[in-house]
Structure 1
Amino acid sequence: MTWRTATTQPAAWHEKAARRAGPRTHKGVVRLAAVTGAALAAVLVSGCGPSKPAAPAATGPHDLDASCRSTKTDAGIEVTLTVSPCPAKGGGSAGKASVTVKDAAGKAVEGAKVEVNSEMPNMKMKGGKQSASAKGDGYESKLVLGMPGDWQISLVVTPASGQASTTVFNVKAE
């Protein structure tokens, strides 16, 4: 039994204790002091900062040009990513990622396995993995960017006779 539930105390005492404001135990007093101190510190600190909001942190360079296209080379494979609609849209609407893959001689690589992975590193958010299907001289996949902001699109290309290579493109979604 605790002091609050003890039957040896008179009933009038229990009623008076129930009406009393504030903590009733040592832990309650310590907890109240910690919360009050933290709230006071937050008020004091917020009053000391600049009056204007801070500028957003600078983001890395974006790889896509004005036509939403970029080409990179990795492990002797030239990979070109084209995003549509242009500019890339965030917010969950499905876009399209078109990928062309060429070997060191500049010939289109046919029969490769192409995987499109989107990730928003600042928010620790993944957009999912999509397998691209062959379309014309390249490959095409659905591209869903969950929200506006800076995204990384990783293209994992595994040629039929070769080793997988990963190429990362930085994309800004509006």
Structure 2
Amino acid sequence: MATFSTRTRATYLGTSSTISLETRIANMTTNANRTRRIATGIDFGIRGDSLIPADISRALGISPTSGFEKGQPYVGRHKKGSEIATVDRIRPFGVWHFCTAEYLDSNEVEAHAEYLIETLTPAKTPISHLIVDPAYYLKITIWVLGYTFDVSSTRLAGLLPFAEDFTITCWEEKDDDTQ
């Protein structure tokens, strides 16, 4: 798989954020006659060593789509040669995570951005306090499975106050002509 990355800084009303763009291509082939499924979502995540998801939910007034505390066990994967084995691991930090794909059945990044902005706006003040607190790290990831996407600069600017960093990831799956 090839990965291409670009990082830039954006400033919105005095708030500086890093925006990363990643393009991941895995065995990409194109066929002009084929219509491809595009899966889209925007993730809003908060990470911290002492993060307790229930406390973040209370502060924001929003329920996460997933979350965990530091020290919780989980089953991870480890590559051994050509095999992938499962291994018991311990979470190194806490995470509170909200994903728009759990709520929207849309392939439009614009719709996901609008939904996330509407969801987070009532919690703008507590989010701004978390952003300046060094105990927490806030990130937004826009992800798309497909060739391309469009989103207005207004929507992108609307997301800036809610995170320190942004990642935009476009990825392709290997074509499977047997489907």
TM range (shorter): under 0.3
Query: Which of 1 and 2 has greater Rg?
Result: 1
* Higher helix residue share: 2
Q: TM-score, normalised by structure 2?
A: 0.22
Q: Which structure carries more relative contact order (alpha carbon 8 Å, separation 6+)?
A: 2
Q: TM-score, normalised by structure 1?
A: 0.23
